[in-house]
Each structure stands twice: as structure tokens, then as C-alpha cells.
Structure 1
Amino acid sequence: MDKLLEIVTNAAEIVTKAATLLCPDLEENTQTLQRKIELLKSRKVDVQEDLQNAGKKNAGKKRKRVVEDWLIHVENNITEFETLEQQIQCSRFYSRQKLAERVERMTKEVMELDEQGDFPGGLFLEVDESIGQLMLTPPHNGQAFLQNFNDIWSSLMDDNILSIGIYGMGGVGKTTLVMHAHDKLLNEPKFSGHVYWITVSQEFSIHKLQSDIAQALKLHFSCGSDEKKRAAQLFQTFQQRGSSVLILDDVWKQIDAEKIGIPPRRDGCKLVITSRLKEVCDRMGCQRIIKVNTLSEQEAWELFLKKLGRVELHPEVEEICKKMVKRCGALPLALVTLAGSMRGVTDIHEWRDASEELKESCMGRADMENEVLPILLYSYDRLRDPKLQRCFLYCSLYPEDYPIRKEELIENFISEELMDRRLSWRAENDQGHAILNQLERACLLERVYLIYLDEYHVKMHDLIRDMALGITKHNRRYMVKAGLHLREIPDVQEWTEDLDKISLMKNSIGEISIGISPNCPRLSTLILSQNPLKSIPDCFFTQMRGLRTLNLSSTSIQYLPHSISDLENLRTLLLRHCFELKSVPTLEKLRLLTRLDLSYTGIEELPDGVESLTNLKVLDLFSTSFSMIPTGVLHSLSLLQQLRLPNRKGVQIEEVSALKQLEDFCGSVNSVRDLNRLIAFLQSMMPPSFYFIVLISKFYGHIFREQSRSKLVGFGKESLMDSSLGEGEILLPRDIEELCFSRSGLSGSLADGFQMLNNARYVKKCSVSSEDEIECIIRLSSTEEQQSRGVPFQSLEKLLLYGLPNFIGLLMWEGKAAVAPLSPGIFTQLTDLEINECNKMKKIIPWSLLQTLPNLQKLEVNYCKEIEEIIGDEDDDGSPVINSSAEVTMPRLKKLTLVNLPELKSICKGMMICDSIENIKIMLCTNLKKVPPLDGQPSPPPSLKKINVHADEKEWWESLEWEHPNANNFLQPFVNFKHFE
């Protein structure tokens, strides 16, 4: 036995030595990778600490999506390395070669992640300091509304009332009332911006509600899923925040506040709930209960006319309208929806017909609230056009109260073939926007503005969604269990044979049990996105052969089941943001596929069979780790209209040039020559709707939003310095809208480096970040020479400058910030100017430039160490161009933000007229003695909404000097002293 053990041991040593000889550097390379992983861990900790302890520096800001993505990629690499270490320790010669390749790949990725972790321009986006969730506040509806609002507000201000219940039937306006209160509370010093809104809905659980509240509080649970421990952590967080308000909207049954973790006490959290049921308010022990009644007859009539959009009505039409208003039971939602469906109708016959239809739809409905749904259903029926109805019903697949991105909806309308077919993607996109506009006008969808994304989304009122789901129970059946925090998929008995669409998005489904195979032969759409789903059994899809759309986006899935390869009717496969996905089975049989999204996945090779997808119109491979795309693949996909390629590899120009129907392109190129060839190709066809082209793959684009729909060219790391990229003049597309530079090697003047900018008529946005050598945007010369060169940036609307250590000023004249006459037209369309970390600048806007900025609406200057003055020039002898009596007018300026400018002594030496100013934020500018935009008049600017100052700087604010003796007094109601978090 001992002899046998000795033989085995010797054999193992021989195998190990052979393996070491095969890959002699594996251990050393692994140690190198380990050191880089440790450095990456340290950087991750630093970033997380900055996020958690934002405090003053990042006041009022929301973390950027690129930061979130970076943290996810870092965590994935750390986890993968731990697994890799174990595999190396147990490896033999047959696996070491593959492990060595993984070590090499990971080392490159970790180095890139470490470099990207610099985040030029910071970790956060500027948003409203207090709003955690946007409340789009509709206009109020008359005296009854004001009375109810005053009752609510007086209760909120009463320290003895800790819980308030607001009840009334569906559609009566409870949520609208509380939205108004929410927005007003944000500016109430008593609560320091600690106001949180949660939509509860009919189906909720303690676990889900705790998660939603934690998200609003920006709290990360450290206790797993234990509800008691989570409640204790929530309770403690509320206690630490001090006075705050928690609004629970749409509560259907009693909630035990203590089980959730809500402390209703004087030094804790004030609770507000809305419900359709008074008994819910009673059972939750609300100290003040307010009933929201329907409108008066006159208020109902005025609201209907307002939404109808008609000033004069024919007497017979007016009589019909009054009958219709009466049938609405004075419910605002019913009135608004009905009026929206009748807007634009002029024919008396159509009015009479509509009145009869409405009368019949409400027959037999004795209960007031039950009358609302027939009215809403009538508005749906009045859409008439089947495609409008199909698109409307599709919106109900999203969770309740969920803001839906318009572009995402339209992409789904197209891929689900809900609209009329058009020859081009642009035409279909236009049709999608037209449909959404029609649904908004009919008041079946609401428009919501998301501040942190700076874009409009749409969503459904919960009653309208209920109506839509009711329709789908009878025709082309839907099963919608979205946003309910489900831990498991519904029981197999619920997966009936007649189902057409199933949405389980935004739940907590982690796995699908082995052996489950629902029998759904007619199922066309399955949405499992936004679940922590890790795996799907192979048998799951075997009885879904009619499936046309499969959405697994934003899941934790690692491998797809092979049964996907047999879904021959599949048109759409969405795997976006599946960061852990490593491979996709062959797609060869999916010849009907028109849309394939593999963006932000971990797959390293293009799936087998993609070249067979000859019907493909949309292919998204952005932010993948592909080493290459095999030659000939793109050439075979001749119907492609949208193409987004990996951002690390240069595109093969010959392949792209074969795509004659291309309308939307995103990719990078490796040389100036390729850039020029690609631009020439794109311009030779009908100009594309959108493009995003980057010169070389390492592009630090914090100024790039992945959903951006623009015509953009960017210049990445050292792309203007590296001779290997090729020589020659850089061409820009004639219709370019955005221009971005990030560590590209810009030097001197931007306009001098790109002469074509002098005649670029369409550039609306320019971003320059982390450029060490750039000194200015435009270097001025004589007026005659300026005129001969053209007018640069004549259409520019947004100019963003981040991390420019040698930047002196926007304009330069004879080596210094300019005092010189300008050609007319320069910067005349500029609305947004943002300057961050430009530490050599002393003045922002020269007096000579100010006169050419009539449209400036937003001026933001942050973290510039040497800034002394915002607006001003000096003559050669150093004397100021503007004296104290000079009048400085900024007619459209709405927002002024000045943060961390330690040397700032003056905003402007002259008298500043700024009647349009709405928001001012000044923080860490303690050498500033005057705030001219707020002074010099006997009353505050008419548009002023708020002035944000850090709570620790009250003494500084009170020490400010004012030209008008009463300025400090009349400004006091607008000042918010806050602890920015």
C-alpha cells in the first residue's frame, strides 16, 4: 500500500512539473493579476465610500449609470478571480493552457477597469437635491381641491399629528393631492428634504415594501432577507434622519408599521397614506383622516371643457356634454379621460352617437366607482384603430406606476409587429411616436419627466391599467404579474394554453425549478427581465414553439438552455445587461429573428449561426468582450437597419459598407483613414437617423449616455496623438450634432485643431474631458480674419468641460483670456454651460462674450480652485472692463450653480438683471460677498423658486452684503439650508 502511495505521489509530481513546463509563467502571471485585483478592490472601496459619504461635495447629485456598470464589472472580476485561483490550484496540464489564457484576458480587463475608475467629471449627475422619485404634479381642479389640500397641509405642519389617512374612490384625485403636498414638502426646512414616496398597490408583501422604502432611503440592507432585522435597520435609519415624511400611496389593506420598520413618533417619521377604503385608515390608527370628495357640478364642467380644448360649443353639443359629464360622477379621472377621447370631434352626429354609446356602457352600474371603468373602456373603444388599441394594451405588461422609456416602447411595438409595416426604421420610429402622442392626447397614458435622466417617459394610471388588464382577460389573453416581488414563477396551472403574452418582469425570481415545462403553444411574448434569474431548465421552452419575443434582459443568467435553439418562430431575443452570461447556444435555426440584443453581456464570441439570420434588422453588440467578429458575418446581414458594435474593437469598414439599409450605427474605428471612410459611406446613403462613432476603442465617455439618440463623433484616449492611427485631415459628418473628446490629446485651441468646426452648422453639444493640454475653445484673431474663417459653434446649445488643468478660458486673445470683439453668431444658441475642475481659469465669461449669450439658461461651475470672478474682463493695465454701475443682463438664465470655488470673490461687478432666474445653489464659496442676481430690486425676481445653501453655511449667508436694504428679508422664504447627502 505504501509503495502504491509513493507511485501515485511521484506521478502527481511528474504531472505538475509537466504542467509547469507547459505554462511556466502561469503562477507568476496569477500573482501579478492578484496584485492588480487587490488594487482594484481598493479603488472599489474608495468609490463606494465616495458614494456613501457624498456629503457636501456631491450634494444634489445622482450617481451616473457608468459608475453602476463599473461597480458591477469590478464585482464580477473579483468573483471570477476567486474561482480562477481555485481552478489553478487544482489544475493539471490539460487545463493550464486555458487558465493561462483566462489570466491574460482578466489582467487586461482589470487594468482597463482600474484606469476607467478615475471617472473624470465625478461619480454623480446633477439632479434636484431633494427629489428621490419624480412627482409630476398635475394642475389642481378648483375650490374642493384647495380645501382638501389645506386640510392635508395643516395636518402635516401639526407636530401632534403623526399619521394622516386620505381616502376616496378611485380616480377622485387622492394621488394628485398628495403629489402637490410632496413637492411642497421638499422645500419645507422642517423636514430637510427627507420626504419619501412609495407606491404600495393592491398586491404587496412586507418584504417588497421594505425593499421599496430602502431604495427611497438609498439604504442597502446588511441583514439579508430577514424581515425583522430589515425592519430594525429601517427603523434606525428613520431615527437617524430625524423629522421626515413617508408617503404610502394606494394602500389596499392594513399595514403593520412596526413590522415594516416605520417609527411614527415626534422625532421620527410622519406617515401619510392614501387608500380607497376608510377602514384601512381606521385600522392603521391614522390620527387625522381626510375624505377626498368628488368635484362640484361646476368644477366638473370646467375641468371637462378645459381638457376638451374647446372655447365655444354648439347648444346641442353643449347639452350632450353636460349629460356626459353627469355620467362621469364628477370623478376627475373619468372626466379627463372622456374629454381626451372626444377632443377634436365637431360633427353633431358623432356627438350624439358617442352619448348613446356611453349611456349603454354605463347601464346597470349602480355603484359610483364601478361606473369609472366603463367610461375608461369607452375611451379605449373610441381609439377605433386596432394598432392604437394593441399598443395601448401592450403598455399594461409593465409594473404598476412604472415610468416606461418611450424609445423602449417603440422598439417593442416594432419588433412585436403591433404597428403598420413601413419601409424604413425611421418611418416606423416616427409612427411609434405618433401612436404614443395619440394615446397621451386620449389621456390613456400620462407623460412623466425624469429629472435624473433629463427625458420624458410615459406611464399608466393604475385604474387605466386595471381596465387594460381586464380587456386582455377576454381576448388574446395576458398574464401580468410584474413588479410584485415574486420569488418563484406562477404555478404551472396558471400557464394556460390560450395565453398570448406573459410578463413577470421586475420580480425576485432567482430560479425556475428543473422539470417545469408549461404548455403554452400560443404564447407569443415572454418577459422575464429585471429578475435575479440564474438558470432556466432545458425543458422550459419545449412547449412554447410559437414564441416570438423572449426578453431576459437584466437577469443574472449565465447560460441559456439549448432548447432556445429550437424556437424557430422567434423574432426578438433580448439579453441586454446580462453581465454574467457567458455563452449563447447556436442560433442557426432562428431564421425569422429580426432583433438580437447582446449588449452588456459577458459573452466573448459571437454565437454560432448569426450569419444565418438573414432577416435580422437590429443587432446590438455594444459593450461586449468580443475579440473579433468573423469576416463575412455582417456582409450576410444585408437587411440590418440598426447596428451597435463592441466598443473595444475597430469596425471592418468593408463589412459595414455592404449594409445599404443601415440607419442607426454605433462603433469605433482604429485610424483617421477608417474614420473618414466610414463617414464617407454613411454620408453617401440617405443620411442615417443616428450614429455614434469613436476614434479608437478606449473612450472615456462619461458624457455619453447609452440610450442617446444623436449624431455623435468622439475621440478617445490619445487618438489625436498616436501616429499609428494614420495621418491626414479628420473629416466630420455634415450633419454632426454632438462632438466629444476624452483624453484624446487635444492641445491649444479646439477650433484651431478642427478647422471644419468653423462651418459646422448642426453641432448642438460639445463635451471635453480630461484633456491636459487644451487651453481654450476659440483663439481669437482680427475681426477680418475671424469673418474669413467662418463662425464656429453657431448652433451649439450645450458646452460641457471637465477636468482641464491648463484650460484658461473659453476665448483667448494674445495668450490670455479674451477681451476682444467677436464675430456675430458665436455661441448665440448656447443654453447650457458646465465647467468642472478647470483649475487654471480665473474668470468664466468675458464681458465681450456675455453679449453673445442671449439664450444661456444654465450656468454651472464646480471645483475650480482659481476662479475669482464669474463674469468680467480686465484691460491690459489690469483695470476691470465692467464698473459697479454697469448693467449686466442675462435675460434667460434659470439656473446658477456655484460649488467649491474657494477663490471666488465676485459673480459680477456690475448691476445684474436676471428676471428669469429660478434656482440658485451656492456652496463652499465663502469668499463671495455679494449675489448680484438676487439684489438691486425691491422684490425677488418674479420666477425665483429656491436658493440652496448648505446648512453649515448659515453664518456665511447672513454675512452677505446687499445693495437693497430689504433684500435679505424678502429672500428668506426662498432660502433652503440643507445637509446635502
Structure 2
Amino acid sequence: MGNIFSISLSLDPIITRCSDCATGQASYICNLEDNLHALQAEVAGLKELRSDLMRRVRIAEDEQQHKRLNQVEGWLSRAETLINDADQLIVQSPQHVENLCMGGCCSTHPRSSIKFGKQIAKKLQEVKDRKENGDFSGVASKPPLPSATERPSEPTVGLESNFNKVWSCLQKEQVGIIGIYGLGGVGKTSLLSQINNKFHDTTHDYHVIWAVASQDRPIERVQDQIAKRIGLSNEGWKSIEEKAEDIFQVLCKKKFALLLDDIWEWFDLTRAGVPLPTQKNGSKVIFTTRGLDVCCQMQPNRDNNIRVECLPPGEAFKLFEEKVGSETLRMHPDICKLAETVVEECAGLPLALITIGRAMASKKTPREWEYAIEALRQSPASAFPRVGQEMYPKLKFSYDCLPDERFRSCFLYCSLYPEDDPIIKDELVDCWIGEGLLDEHTILSNAKNQGHFIIGSLIDSCLLEEGQYNDRVKMHDVIRDLALWIAGESEKEKFFVKSGVQLKEQPKAKKWEEVTRMSLMENQIENLTEILECPNLQTLFLGSNDLKVIMDDFFNFMPMLRVLDLSHNKKLEELPVGIAKLVSLEHLNLSWIGIKKLPVELKALAKLKYLNLEWTEDLEMIPQQLISSFSKLQVLKMEGCGYGCLLVLEEMEHLKYLNVLTLTFRSASEFEKASRFNKFFSCAIEQVSLLHFRDSRSLNIMALAKLQCLCGLSLWSCMDLEEVKIERNIIEGAGCFHSLRFVRVVLCNHLRDVSWVTFAPHLVVLEILECQGLEEIVSEEKLGEVAELKGNLNLFSKLKLLSLHNLPKLKTVYHHALPFPQLKEVSIMLCPMLKKLALNSNSAKGQRPVIKGAEGWWKDVEWEDESSRIAFLPSFKPCIV
């Protein structure tokens, strides 16, 4: 029994195998080897097909910038999976082949072999089917264009408010073109990139196009970038016009936003093929440029032109810290404080902060930082090579784009003035005229107009900054450094500038003979006792020093000198007779110096056109016929001069070219006598001071009201003066005080009002100081006397600065609130009874002025209503009296 049982067990696998072979699944075993060979061959073919297809796809994607078809992507994905599965089966196949027996028709493990044979047969068919479906005539197509393409950008500092302005402007249907302008390196491109990426991150219906203009062939370059962005091929284009036509046909069917970076002149959108944005098509053009003039040429609405300003101190330091690294700032306790000084020298210009910040990142000791500060104040490019290599060339593009050499020379001239000092426009233009930088004009006013036009162009180019009250300009610290760098690199412009650097002695230089302009302003130099041989020197600024002595021979070797400024040297009591050697001199500024007499030798200055003697209060003697000897004199300034103007007034009648005259009168009788010289009163007088009047309680300013060029009027210490009359025959005439811009009233203790100033329609600055009896600025009663005109007066419509100091009885500015559309600053000090400011909520609809005063006074100000109080609450800036 045992033997029989064992035999039956040993026969079971054979019986099973025979049973399987008999059931029709034997083919999976019998065909296994053939199917494996076939699968290997078919997989190799599929791999070749996949490789060929991928090559076609990559060419389409990389070279043609197309996107692969979804069906191709699906086929490749499924083919990849199929190949991986088949390869895995092939790897497993040897062990299953080893199980075959009886010539491959049976298996020692039949169930496993049948299962594996089925998998091989199925995979073989799948591979064959995949190969048959892999014949594609096209593998890719042009992708749909994204609405916006994200641009790489670093985190920005301080652009949030500008971004909000631009984005808010974009939301206005009536706004089609927006200009972004500002100094080179101030962050205009970064701001435009933020706008682009905002489009990318938000849902909108614009097709956003980024294009960068260039100074060379800007239209063609922009056209190429637009064409690429909207999917146009540039093949076959022969001209700008052909490109423009194709671009127009596409864009006129789209709502687009064209972001146009870095244009240098008016860009002709129409010629480029860009449809002009309208409220109907809803499209937008946002561009960046360095000049306001370009903005206004692109679209005249100034509200849609947004200036990017330099960073305020806090944000400037934050940007600097990002570039220099907080670790460096913590290396020594003194470094952080020194870094604040470095940031100040960069004056908020992001390009400077970034460039200098990176240069200082490796400086770990206070001494290195102290040296850097001194270098930044003297010659930044010498200590920081990257400044000369990287920053200045970028900024210099604005200089290069100025219209001609005259504009460039005028720009460079501004660097002679001390850092951070406001420059009076008229004084600057006078120096330009003296140097011969402007065209020759027979009429001085034409030359002045040209000078102011150039100043305006430099402001529009962001190379100068407008002063607060429009009479001054300022040069940004970095732009001043740029100008000095350009002058230092120039062959013909050689500057020696040591202004505002605390010099106590006359400086030294290696090559005085090369110097064309020299500025030693705002130092503490007391004596000039060494001769300077400067044969090419044309301008010499020595103002605001402590000069006591100028040796007689100091000017002996300056034959080309045309402009000499000795102003604001109160200790200088005597001019050297050697000044007569300056035979080319045209401009001589002696204002605010302590001289007691003018040397007769000045008669040798035959070319003199400009003589400024203002506030030479100690001047007691001017030689007879000296003034009349200056036969070419065009400008004579004597306001505040100690020598009485009546003594030289007759001589002035011989000055046939005199165009500008400033005078001081010390009595009403002197004023009345002078008014008989009609020639000067009608044509030349620009500034008048009435000083120390003691002989009159009432002043008739009829003569002054009719002066065509009077721009400034001051009343100083007129202690007996009670009234300045407003007479009908003054105000009925056309052009009453038409040119008057500045009025100052000081120590006129019996004046009760200054109502007459309301008849100066273009008044910009009104200062009233220490008038103990003044009760109101404008008397409604006095205006009521001319009731028919009262309703037509646009009171203070141009006023920008109102200063009221030490007026103990002042109660009102005006009985009613006024709009003050251009008011920028109100300064109220020691006016305890002044409770109403003639301001209400309507006055706040324009720009809101800064209101300076004591906190105690501000708390007691009475307002027309609560909304007016709330409107001006942010305007207050407390001051210590």
C-alpha cells in the first residue's frame, strides 16, 4: 500500500501537465520563446519610433517655440510606460524559459509559464498597436499666448506708493497713456516690472506686451519685440511700414497693455503700428523715461505722468542694508552709525545705494568706513572703481542726451555750487551770461529767458531738481558727483572745486594753468596771499568765506576771468587795486561784503555787464563817474547798499544797456524824487526796499504799482508808516503789480493791515515779521471801498509760502476762507491771537500745505467745521518757538 501511494503522488504533476497541454493553453507555453523574440524586436522598434518622435518634438519646442500636441504627449507617455513594462518582462523571461521541457512544448511549472506566456503575448500585441498609432504628420503647434509673461525682479524698497499711483491710474477708463519718469537709477524699470508682474498674477482681459526701446533705431527694436510677443513671424518684412501694418492688424483686435521701457525721445506709436489707446478700445501704454519733456510729448496731462523720487532716509538705509549685509553692519558698534553717513551721501538714489552698498559689503572696520565717507565727499570714483565703471556711465546717458554742448556746459556749471545748497535761478543765469555760455542777445531779457529755458530742460531731464518756491534749483548729490566726474574726464572743462569742505587756507593744485572754473565757496579762508597763475580761468567763486585780505597781485595772472563772486565776506573791508587787471571781467558780485569804498581802479573793467552791490551796508563812497564808466553795464544791484541811490541815479541815465536795477529808498521824499526818473522805473527796476522810513505815515505806491518788472518789494523798519494806500487809479490800470512775486514786511509797527498785496495777482511769497500793530492781513473794509473789483479778485491764487512771525495783535488773515490752490507752506510763530487761518474743507481739495507752528497755538485754532479740522490735521508740523 505504501509503495502504491508513493507512485500515485509522483505521477500527479505529469497528469496535470498533460491535462494543461490538452486544454488549449499549451500555445502560451509552446509560443513563449517565439513571442519573447518578437517582443524584443517590437520593443526595439517602438523605442526607435519614440526617439524619432521626441527629436521632432524637441525641434518644434526649442527652435520653433511651439507646444507639443496633447495626442503626441499622450502617445509618448503611454509608449514610455509600455516600454518599461515590456523591458521588465524581458528581464524576467530567462527563468521562465528554463522551466520549459520536451522541446519547449511543456513546462516544469505549467501554471506559471502559462501566466507569463499570456503576459508576453498581450504585451506583444500592445507594442504592435502602439507602433501602428505612432505615425503623426504634425507633432506640435503654436501655443496660445499668455496674457502676461512674468519678469525676473528682486524685492524692491520704497516703490509701493508709486506702484499704487500707476495702478490706480490704470483703472481709470479715460486714461490711455501713463508716463513714469525720474533720475537714472531711481527705480523706473523696477516699478514697470512690478506692474508687469501684477498683470501676470491677477485676472484681467489685457494682452500684456513688454518692450525695451533704445537710443539706436527705437521703433524697429520695439516692433520686433511686439511682433514676437503677439506671435508674428518677421520673415518677409522689408520696412517699418510693413511691420507696422501687420502689428496694427493684430493689436487693433486686442485689448492690450504695452509696457514700454526706457524711451529717450517722443516715441511714434502710430508709426510703430500700435493703435492709440482710447476709452473705446480700453488699451493702455505705460512707458518709462528720464525726462518730463518726453512724458508731456507723449501725452500732455501731467496728472498721468508720475515721477519716481529718490528714497527717504529710512527706506534708503533699508535698501543699503540689504546690499551691504546686516552681518557687516554688526562687525563693530561704530559701523552702523558710519553707514548712516554713507547712506546720506547716496542721497536716496537706489543705484548709488546698491552700487556703494555692494562695494562696502567686505569692509569690516570703522577706519575703512571713515575713509569711504571721505572719498564719497571728495572723489567717489577714485575709491570705488565700480562707481566709475558701473554707476556713472548709466547716469551719463542723461547728460549725453542733452540737446547740445551749451546745455551740457550749463549743467556742469551747477557743480561749482556746494553740495545740498539751493541755487537761485536768476543768479545762475547771470553767471551763465557772464561766462558767455548763452547766445549773444541784444536784449538781456532774451538771454535770461534762454537761461531759464535751459534750467527747465535740465529739470525735465531730472538733472536738476525744482526748488520749493520755483525760484531755486538743487543738484542731487550723486548727479553733482557725476558732473565733477565728467568735468574731470573732459579735455576742455577742467574744474577745481573745493566748496563747502572747511578749508582754512588757500588750496594748492598741481596744474593751475589747466583750470577753467574754480569754486572755493563756503569755507573759512581768511587770506589770499599767493598768486595763482590761471591763464584759462573763466569763473572764480570765493563767496561765503572769512576773507579779510586779498593781496593786490592776486588777480594778476587771470586774464580770461569773466565771472568773479566775492559775496558774503563781511570781514572784507577793502578790494585790492589789482582787481583792475581783470580786463575780461563781465560779472562782479560784491554783495554782502564789508567794503567801505569802491576803488577808482575799477574803471578799467570796461567789459563789465553785471555789478552786484546789494547789502554792502558799510559802503560809504563810490567815486564819481565810476558807475557811468561801465558803458556796457546791463545789471546793477544796489538794494540795501549803504551808498544812497540818488547819488548815482543821474549817472545811471548814461547806461544805455541797463536792464536790471535794484534799489533801496530810505525816506518817502527820496522815493518821490527817484520816481521822476521814469526810464528806470518803467523798464529796469526789479527789486525795491523801503528802509527806515521816518518821515511819512502814509505811502502812495502808485509809482511802484506800475513798474513792469518789479518782482520783489520789501518794507523794513518803516516805524511811522500807518497805511499803504489802495487807490482807484492804481487798481483800474492794467498790469497793477503784474510781475510782483515776493513781498516782505518787517518791523512796521504801526501798520494795521497789508491789504494792498491782494492786488499782486502773481504773488508767490508773503512774509510779515515783527509788526507789533498788525491786526489783519487783508481788510475786508478796505476791499469794500473798491466793491466793484472785490468780486473779481482771485486772492492769493499763486501764493506758495505764507510766513507770519511775531505779530502779537494779528487776529485774521481774511474774513472768509480762501482756496489757496498752490499754497505749500504756512509758518505761524508768536501770533497768539490768530485763531482763524482762512482755510476750510474746500481749501484742502488741492495740495495741502505744511502748517508750521507751536503745538499750544495749534490746539487753539478755530475751524469753520469739524471736516475742515480733520482735513488739515495731518498738515501740522510742530516747531519750537
Q: TM-score, normalised by structure 2?
A: 0.51
Instruction: Name the structure 2 match of 1:948.
Output: 876
Instruction: Name the structure 1 match of 2:337.
Output: 262
Instruction: Name the structure 2 match of 1:635.
Output: 628
> Does 1:602 pair with 2:579?
no
Structure number with the bigger relative contact order (C-alpha 8 A, sep ≥ 6) is 1
Give distance in 2, aligned partners of 1:771 and 1:405. Answer: 28
Per the alignment, do residues 869 and 755 of structure 1 end up closer, same or farther by CA in structure 2, a change over 3 Å counting?
A: same
> Does 1:751 pair with 2:725?
yes
Instruction: Name the structure 2 match of 1:619.
Output: 611
Equivalent in 427, 451, 463 of residue 432 of structure 1: 451
> Does 1:828 pair with 2:784?
no
Equivalent in 702, 714, 738 of residue 740 of structure 1: 714
- The Cα of 1:856 is off from its aligned counterpart by 7.6
Per the alignment, do residues 644 and 771 of structure 1 end up closer, same or farther by CA in structure 2, a change over 3 Å counting?
A: same
> Does 1:771 pair with 2:748?
yes
Q: What runs of 5+ residues in structure 1 fail to find an aligned partner?
A: 1-141, 154-169, 179-242, 287-366, 479-500, 700-715, 780-789, 872-887, 895-913, 951-978
Equivalent in 506, 511, 514 of residue 500 of structure 2: 506
Superposed, 1:488-503 pairs within 5 Å as: 501-503=495-497
Instruction: Name the structure 2 match of 1:556.
Output: 546
- The Cα of 1:637 is off from its aligned counterpart by 0.8
Q: What secondary structure, in the 3-state scheme, does the structure 2 residue paired with 1:555 have?
A: coil
Amino acid corresponding to residue 621 of structure 2 in structure 1: M
Give distance in 2, aligned partners of 1:758 and 1:778. Answer: 16
Instruction: Name the structure 2 match of 1:278.
Output: 358
1:498-526 C-alpha deviation (Å, 9 max, x unpaired): xxx3222222221248xx78554343323
- The Cα of 1:435 is off from its aligned counterpart by 2.2
Please say which of residues 379-388 and 398-407 is displaced more in the overlay.
398-407
Per the alignment, do residues 817 and 608 of structure 1 end up closer, same or farther by CA in structure 2, a change over 3 Å counting?
A: closer
Equivalent in 576, 590, 606 of residue 567 of structure 2: 576
Amino acid corresponding to residue 768 of structure 1 in structure 2: V
Equivalent in 650, 656, 659 of residue 660 of structure 1: 656
Q: Is the 8 A contact 1:835 1:862 kept in 2?
A: yes
Per the alignment, do residues 397 and 826 of structure 1 end up closer, same or farther by CA in structure 2, a change over 3 Å counting?
A: same
Equivalent in 835, 842, 846 of residue 815 of structure 2: 846
Give distance in 2, aligned partners of 1:799 and 1:438. Answer: 28
> Does 1:718 pair with 2:793?
no
Superposed, 1:128-527 pairs within 5 Å as: 147-149=156-158, 172-173=185-186, 247=317, 258=333, 262=337, 274-276=353-355, 277-278=357-358, 280-281=360-361, 283=363, 370=389, 380-383=399-402, 385-397=404-416, 404-443=423-462, 445-449=463-467, 451=468, 455-459=471-475, 462=478, 465-466=481-482, 469-470=485-486, 472-476=488-492, 478=494, 501-512=495-506, 520-527=512-519
Q: Is the 8 A contact 1:758 1:793 kept in 2?
A: no
Give distance in 2, aligned partners of 1:368 and 1:574. Answer: 32
Instruction: Name the structure 2 match of 1:954.
Output: none
- The Cα of 1:618 is off from its aligned counterpart by 0.8
Per the alignment, do residues 931 and 410 of structure 1 end up closer, same or farther by CA in structure 2, a change over 3 Å counting?
A: same
Amino acid corresponding to residue 473 of structure 1 in structure 2: E
Amino acid corresponding to residue 756 of structure 1 in structure 2: I
Give distance in 1, aligned partners of 2:479 and 2:737. Answer: 47
Per the alignment, do residues 249 and 505 of structure 1 end up closer, same or farther by CA in structure 2, a change over 3 Å counting?
A: farther
Amino acid corresponding to residue 651 of structure 2 in structure 1: E
Give distance in 2, aligned partners of 1:566 and 1:431. Answer: 33
Amino acid corresponding to residue 551 of structure 1 in structure 2: F
Give distance in 2, aligned partners of 1:473 and 1:598. Answer: 33
1:583-607 C-alpha deviation (Å, 9 max, x unpaired): 2221333322211122222222213
Give distance in 1, aligned partners of 2:405 and 2:823. Answer: 45
1:274-321 C-alpha deviation (Å, 9 max, x unpaired): 4424363465599xxxxxxxxxxxxxxxxxxxxxxxxxxxxxxxxxxx
Superposed, 1:528-927 pairs within 5 Å as: 528-538=520-530, 540-541=531-532, 543-567=533-557, 568-586=559-577, 587-624=579-616, 625-645=618-638, 647-651=641-645, 652=647, 653-672=649-668, 674-681=670-677, 683=679, 687-688=683-684, 691-695=686-690, 699=691, 716-720=692-696, 732-735=705-708, 736-745=710-719, 749-751=723-725, 756=730, 759=733, 760-762=736-738, 763=740, 765-777=742-754, 800-809=767-776, 823-825=789-791, 827-831=793-797, 832=799, 835-847=804-816, 850=817, 862-867=829-834, 891=842, 893-894=843-844, 917=848, 919=850, 923-925=855-857
Q: What secondary structure, in the 3-state scheme, does the structure 1 residue paired with 2:465 have?
A: strand
Give distance in 1, aligned partners of 2:471 and 2:160. Answer: 34
Q: What secondary structure, in the 3-state scheme, does the structure 2 residue paired with 1:476 have?
A: coil
Per the alignment, do residues 812 and 591 of structure 1 end up closer, same or farther by CA in structure 2, a change over 3 Å counting?
A: closer
Give distance in 2, aligned partners of 1:173 and 1:853. Answer: 32
Give distance in 1, aligned partners of 2:572 and 2:404. Answer: 41
**Could you say which structure has the larger radius of gyration?**
2
Give distance in 2, aligned partners of 1:402 and 1:582. Answer: 26
Per the alignment, do residues 378 and 771 of structure 1 end up closer, same or farther by CA in structure 2, a change over 3 Å counting?
A: closer
Per the alignment, do residues 810 and 558 of structure 1 end up closer, same or farther by CA in structure 2, a change over 3 Å counting?
A: closer
- The Cα of 1:678 is off from its aligned counterpart by 3.7
Aligned residues: CA RMSD = 5.2
Q: What secondary structure, in the 3-state scheme, does the structure 2 residue paired with 1:768 have?
A: strand
Give distance in 1, aligned partners of 2:656 and 2:850. Answer: 48
Per the alignment, do residues 176 and 447 of structure 1 end up closer, same or farther by CA in structure 2, a change over 3 Å counting?
A: farther
- The Cα of 1:402 is off from its aligned counterpart by 6.2
1:703-730 C-alpha deviation (Å, 9 max, x unpaired): xxxxxxxxxxxxx3425259xx9x9986
Superposed, 1:28-177 pairs within 5 Å as: 147-149=156-158, 172-173=185-186
- The Cα of 1:865 is off from its aligned counterpart by 3.8
- The Cα of 1:616 is off from its aligned counterpart by 0.6
Instruction: Name the structure 1 match of 2:277.
Output: none
1:780-809 C-alpha deviation (Å, 9 max, x unpaired): xxxxxxxxxx99556666654444444444
- The Cα of 1:433 is off from its aligned counterpart by 1.9
Q: What secondary structure, in the 3-state scheme, does the structure 2 residue paired with 1:665 have?
A: strand
1:609-651 C-alpha deviation (Å, 9 max, x unpaired): 1122121101112222211111111111121111123522311
Q: What secondary structure, in the 3-state scheme, does the structure 2 residue paired with 1:718 have?
A: coil
Corresponding pairs, count: 543
Q: Is the 8 A contact 2:826 2:850 kept in 1?
A: no
Q: Is the 8 A contact 1:751 1:778 kept in 2?
A: no
Per the alignment, do residues 751 and 854 of structure 1 end up closer, same or farther by CA in structure 2, a change over 3 Å counting?
A: farther
Q: What secondary structure, in the 3-state scheme, does the structure 1 residue paired with 2:337 have?
A: coil
Give distance in 1, aligned partners of 2:848 and 2:473. Answer: 27
1:899-953 C-alpha deviation (Å, 9 max, x unpaired): xxxxxxxxxxxxxxx686565667314874975554389xx65xx6825376xxx
Q: Is the 8 A contact 1:740 1:767 kept in 2?
A: yes
Q: Is the 8 A contact 1:605 1:628 kept in 2?
A: yes
Q: Is the 8 A contact 2:157 2:315 kept in 1?
A: no
Q: Is the 8 A contact 2:583 2:604 kept in 1?
A: yes
Q: Is the 8 A contact 2:780 2:814 kept in 1?
A: no
Per the alignment, do residues 799 and 534 of structure 1 end up closer, same or farther by CA in structure 2, a change over 3 Å counting?
A: closer
Amino acid corresponding to residue 469 of structure 1 in structure 2: W
Per the alignment, do residues 857 and 675 of structure 1 end up closer, same or farther by CA in structure 2, a change over 3 Å counting?
A: same
Give distance in 2, aligned partners of 1:392 and 1:730. Answer: 39
Give distance in 2, aligned partners of 1:470 and 1:859. Answer: 40
- The Cα of 1:744 is off from its aligned counterpart by 1.8
Amino acid corresponding to residue 769 of structure 1 in structure 2: V
Instruction: Name the structure 2 match of 1:935.
Output: 867
Q: Is the 8 A contact 1:919 1:945 kept in 2?
A: no
